[in-house]
Amino acid sequence: MKANIQYAILIAWGILSVSCKKDNYKAPSGAFSGRLVYQGQPVNVSYNEVYFELWEPGWGKSTPIVVNVSQDGSFSALLFDASYKLVIPAAQGPFRSLTDKTTNSDTILLQLSGNLTRDIEVLPYYMIRQAKFTAAGRKVTATFAAEQIIKDAAAKDIERVSLYICKTQFVDGRNSVATKDMSGAAITDPAGISLQVDVPALVPEQKTVFARVGLKIAGVEDMIYSPVQEVAL
Amino acid sequence: MKKHWLYICLVILACNVGCNDKDFLNVKPSDVLQNDQLWNDEGLILSVLADLYDRYPDRQTDVNNSPIPSMVVQTIDNWGEFARFDEAFASENGQYWRHGASDYPYVFPGMIVKGAGEVTYWDYAYIRELNIFIDKCGTSTKLKQEVKNRFIAEARYLRAVVYFEEVKRVGGVPLILQPMTYDYKGDPAYLQHARAKESEIYDFVISEMDTVRKYLPAGAVSKTRATAGLALATKTRAALYAGSIARHGVTTPQVSLPGGEAGIPVAKANDYYTIALNAAKELINSGSYALYKKNADNFTQNFISLFIDKGANPEVIFAKDFKLQSGRVQPWTLWSQPRSNAEEQQGGRLNPSLNLVQSFELLDNTFAPLNINAPGGGYVYYNDPLDLFANRDPRLAATVILPGSEFKDKKVDIWAGYIRRNGDIVTGDNFGAKSRLEPNGPEVQVVGYDGPVNNLEFSAQSGFIIRKYMDPTVGSGRIGTQSEVWWIRYRYAEVLLNAAEAAFELGQRDVAAGYINQVRERAGFKIPLTAADMTFDRIVHERKVELAFEGHEFWDMKRWRLAHKVWNGVRTALTTNPGKSDEPSTRVFALWPYKVYDPGSPNNGKYIFKQVLPGAVTSAHGFRLGNYYAAINDDIRNNNPKIVKNPNQ
């Protein structure tokens, strides 16, 4: 009886130790990371709103790997070593893709072996510069400049600028507790825009809130933002 | 050894005898019908056609038990989808995600496939079977010509409807009108067709309607099979959709494609509106259909009966029918029956939102939010909760079970608790929960038997319960019985509203007012709208309240290009201007009645109302520009490289 159990354990152990190796692929290990940038400055967007696609040619059917861009314009993905084609879909982001010099199109070629850190240069319609947030009592004031980057025939107007206050570091219109909008027509001096908003009572009360300003470009879905800043009340 | 010879002889004998008789291999199967049997028998063809009708693209199947893809649509057997936008709250634990999800997926509204989630609506299997039907039915030799023509016209009607559904979701699709067969030569390129323009699909639907109506019976001879009147109703709807995409699509140039697969040039708008208006006029002048006015003395009851009266209902043009004890019953009433007089331990699921309720205008044709807060602070006190909704559009009480109103001859019990003089609330956490109002007093009921209780499923968490299509018959709320109320796909009032909208867009405001007033007069409005009253907001509003919970809102918002403005993903408060068409409405709000507990005060026992946000509503709905045309899945594009991407891809 005792021998039977011992045999059983031995056989089970043997099966377990052998079978795990049999059919498992190694997980992808190469980290591809970077930021969306304009002249070295990160392009800030909403979380889960902007993505790009990585296509790996050579397989029977092509399905892209979708990489989401974080709030601060950074992204990262664990990938197998291979050559990829990176495409930002035209409808994505508050920017236009630049023509890649190698492919003469909006496609960027990536050769991945091991880790790769690479920033993707894009051409935003506007950039938010010198965003400053100050709080006096429960009133948060933001001052910033909206610099127009694309000025040729493709230029677009500002639809509105908004100051968002959120309880967590994910800051945009979807979860703001206080919002102040200003329409594009009401902006007199794009180099010195000021927005003010009162922070309502928060439950539970917290000593700091997170703020940033966003700029909605007319006819473009995704907004461009300033970096998030924690403001002490 | 001798035995071997025997075997060899036997085999030779068997071969000779077996192969001689050619008829032996030509025995007709007894369990499968042959082409010449099927296509020469009127009854058999009708049963094939019945199956094709059954797959009319608003079907819903249980995705968990069936390999058949089910479509994401709002119908009478898919209550939850009505809570996807701002019309209603879904009071069931498994459905709260509709109010916690911010973005709609890019393939929405597609098909749910078992084990694969939501995929593009791309139902070429159905189209192929319709094409085969049209092809084979035409070869029939023994059918009478007019019978054959009607069968073929019905299949062509269904095929056009599928293309209409396709174009509503993904824009232009390949127009396949023949059953295609693969030749097994290794190159399927000849089966791959490029997408047609969006306008071409609409043109196809319109021209098919003109063709099939010649062969379909005139007059309202059937409400469940295609008629000439239905062809006209579909034509006016399709032309109106195409016209509004052309007219309003100019505000969203981002969601068009250079090849025209998505988007229609604005120059075509007037042509489409003219087609829509003329087709609607033709149907109206035919006299085959009329507005339902059987209860002319009670406007609310009249509008309730319109949806549940299946006997000689002059308004219904086309419906999906159900029948008790036939296996074809529907659970709409079972799902949403008020919990206080439910026939099962469930109900109360579909809760119309305050957003919708406050959209119903006052009888003097003006808009106003519900009067719940007194000027200068405090509440407005009501003796009867129904008084809050007095002087509103009678369709409100017919669409929504209001607090204090009746269902199945029993008053519903919707109130959220007691409120003391100092504003403290005494309430419970279950249906009809009890508590003490005084420290040593008796235990009394402190919340209604219908709720509302936050996050308690089946309680009226928005403070309202759906009434439209609810069946007052005994047994309609039992799992074993359910309901045979039909689901109306086309009705006459929609045709009138289509005519009004088309006329308005063509600048004929007096004509538009004439049509819209017919609908409003039936609803119970005494003051007709004048030509000067006719605005785009009026058109939007009238369709919103007349056609609520009939599966129109989403498509209307889409074709007017209002969806991305109204569901803009931003947390906004409830609008105070419910008559304005592009006011954001991203979260469903609730209205909870409270009983006043203030002994000695004249207000004791009266009702006050609070506007609240249900606890399950955690996100704001965001309809992105990319949602206007659903994404075409990669596997479809891999199989057919000629399919161009939609703007969101």
pLDDT tens digits, B394-417: 999 999 999 999 999 999 999 999
Which residue, B287, B281, B248, is CA-closest to B265?
B248
Work out the average pLDDT over B57-63. 68
Q: How far is A203 from chain B (nearest CA, A)?
A: 14
The whole-number pLDDT of residue B6 equals: 79
The whole-number pLDDT of residue A153 equals: 87
The whole-number pLDDT of residue B480 equals: 92
Q: Which chain A residue shows the shortest CA-CA distance from B640?
A: A61
Q: A-chain residues within 8 Å CB-CB of B568?
A: 173
**Structure tokens of A171?**
């800051």
pLDDT tens string B441-453? 899 999 999 989 9
Count CB neighbours of B1 within 10 A: 4
Instruction: Spell out the domains of chain B, with CATH numbers in brackets.
Output: 217-321+486-550 (1.25.40.10)
Return the H-helix or E-strand segment holding A146.
Answer: strand A139-148
Question: E-assigned strands of B231-310?
Answer: none
Chain B 11-50, residues with CB within 8 Å of chain A CB atoms: none
B634 with A61: Cβ contact below 8 A: yes
A48 with B103: Cβ contact below 8 A: yes
Q: A-chain residues within 8 Å CB-CB of B634?
A: 61-64
**Structure tokens of A118?**
């690479």
Q: Which chain A residue shows the shortest CA-CA distance from B648?
A: A91
Work out the average pLDDT over B419-434. 93
Going by pLDDT thresholds of 50, 70 and 90, the confidence category of residue B569 is confident
A68 touches chain B (CB under 8 A): no
Q: Is the pLDDT of residue A1 over 80?
A: no
Work out the average pLDDT over B253-272. 94
Work out the average pLDDT over A210-225. 92
Cα dihedral B60, B66, B70, B72 sign: positive
Q: Could you tell me which residues are beta bridge partners of residue B419?
A: B425, B596
Work out the average pLDDT over B10-29. 70
Contact A190, A184 (CB under 8 A): no
pLDDT tens string B272-317? 999 999 999 999 999 999 999 999 899 999 999 999 999 999 999 9
Work out the average pLDDT over A136-158. 92
Q: Is the pLDDT of residue A22 over 70?
A: no
Q: A-chain residues within 8 Å CB-CB of B613?
A: none
The whole-number pLDDT of residue B96 equals: 94
Work out the average pLDDT over B313-333. 93
Q: Tell me what the pLDDT averaged over chain A comes to.
A: 89
B638 touches chain A (CB under 8 A): yes
Residues in chain A: 233
Contact B389, B414 (CB under 8 A): no
User: CA-CA distances (angstroms) from residue B255 to A96, A151, B208, B261, B337?
Assistant: 16, 23, 27, 10, 41
pLDDT tens string B191-244? 999 999 999 999 999 999 999 999 999 988 999 999 999 999 999 999 999 999
Going by pLDDT thresholds of 50, 70 and 90, the confidence category of residue B18 is low
Domain with CATH 2.60.40.1120 in chain A: 30-124
Going by pLDDT thresholds of 50, 70 and 90, the confidence category of residue B385 is very high
A64 touches chain B (CB under 8 A): yes
The whole-number pLDDT of residue B64 equals: 58
- Interatomic CA distance for residues B127 and B110, integer angstroms: 16
Contact B369, B579 (CB under 8 A): no
Q: Is the pLDDT of residue B458 over 90?
A: yes
Going by pLDDT thresholds of 50, 70 and 90, the confidence category of residue B75 is confident
Q: Class of A30-124 per CATH?
A: mainly beta
Q: Is the pLDDT of residue A14 over 80?
A: no
A224 touches chain B (CB under 8 A): no
- Interatomic CA distance for residues B503 and B492, integer angstroms: 17
B634 with A63: Cβ contact below 8 A: yes
Q: CB pairs below 8 Å between A and B: how many?
A: 44
Q: Could you tell me which residues are beta bridge partners of residue A165?
A: A178, A211
Which residue, B506, B567, B579, is CA-closest to B542?
B579
Which three-class secondary structure state does DSSP give residue B336?
A: helix
Contact B567, B621 (CB under 8 A): yes
The whole-number pLDDT of residue B330 equals: 92
Q: Does A126-232 carry CATH code 2.60.40.2060?
A: yes
Number of alpha carbons in the 13 Å side-chain half-sphere of residue B98: 21
Q: Is the pLDDT of residue B595 over 70?
A: yes
Work out the average pLDDT over B48-65. 80
B635 with A61: Cβ contact below 8 A: yes
Q: A-chain residues within 8 Å CB-CB of B254?
A: 91, 219-221
Q: How far is B569 from chain A (nearest CA, A)?
A: 6
**Best mutation site among A52, A62, A96, A221 for testing chain B: the one with the most B CBs within 10 Å?**
A221
Contact B466, B335 (CB under 8 A): no
- Interatomic CA distance for residues B14 and B57, integer angstroms: 54
A221 touches chain B (CB under 8 A): yes
Instruction: Report the percent of chain B where pLDDT is more than 70.
Output: 97
The whole-number pLDDT of residue A17 equals: 66
Q: Tell me what the pLDDT averaged over chain B comes to.
A: 92
Q: B-chain residues within 8 Å CB-CB of A173?
A: 568-571, 620
B569 touches chain A (CB under 8 A): yes
Query: Which position has the higher pLDDT, B17 or A8?
Result: A8
User: CA-CA distances (angstroms) from residue B479 to B4, B327, B330, B613?
Assistant: 69, 12, 10, 32
Residue B645 DSSP label: P
Q: Which chain A residue shows the shortest CA-CA distance from B587?
A: A174
B569 with A173: Cβ contact below 8 A: yes
Kindly write down the DSSP assignment for every residue of B475-509, as one continuous string.
TTTSTTT-B---EEEEEHHHHHHHHHHHHHHTT-H
- Interatomic CA distance for residues B258 and B263, integer angstroms: 9
Contact B386, B403 (CB under 8 A): yes
B570 with A173: Cβ contact below 8 A: yes
Least confident segment among A13-22, A127-136, B69-78, B213-222:
A13-22
B626 with A90: Cβ contact below 8 A: no
A184 touches chain B (CB under 8 A): no
Domain with CATH 2.60.40.2060 in chain A: 126-232
Inter-axis angle of helices B228-248 and B269-286, to 10 degrees?
A: 150
Q: Which chain B residue shows the shortest CA-CA distance from A162?
A: B570
Work out the average pLDDT over A216-225. 91
The whole-number pLDDT of residue B377 equals: 87
Least confident segment among A92-106, A110-124, B127-141, B240-254:
A92-106
Residue A119 DSSP label: P
**Best mutation site among A174, A180, A217 for testing chain B: the one with the most B CBs within 10 Å?**
A174
Work out the average pLDDT over A7-25. 71
Contact A88, A97 (CB under 8 A): yes
Which residue, B163, B224, B130, is CA-closest to B138?
B130
Going by pLDDT thresholds of 50, 70 and 90, the confidence category of residue A16 is low
The whole-number pLDDT of residue B233 equals: 97
Question: E-assigned strands of chain A?
Answer: 30-38, 41-42, 51-55, 65-68, 74-79, 82-87, 95-97, 108-112, 116-117, 120-124, 126-136, 139-148, 158-166, 178-183, 193-198, 208-217, 224-225, 229-232
Contact B393, B360 (CB under 8 A): yes
Q: Which chain A residue shows the shortest CA-CA distance from B251?
A: A219
The whole-number pLDDT of residue A7 equals: 84
Q: Which amino acid is at B169?
A: R
Going by pLDDT thresholds of 50, 70 and 90, the confidence category of residue A28 is confident
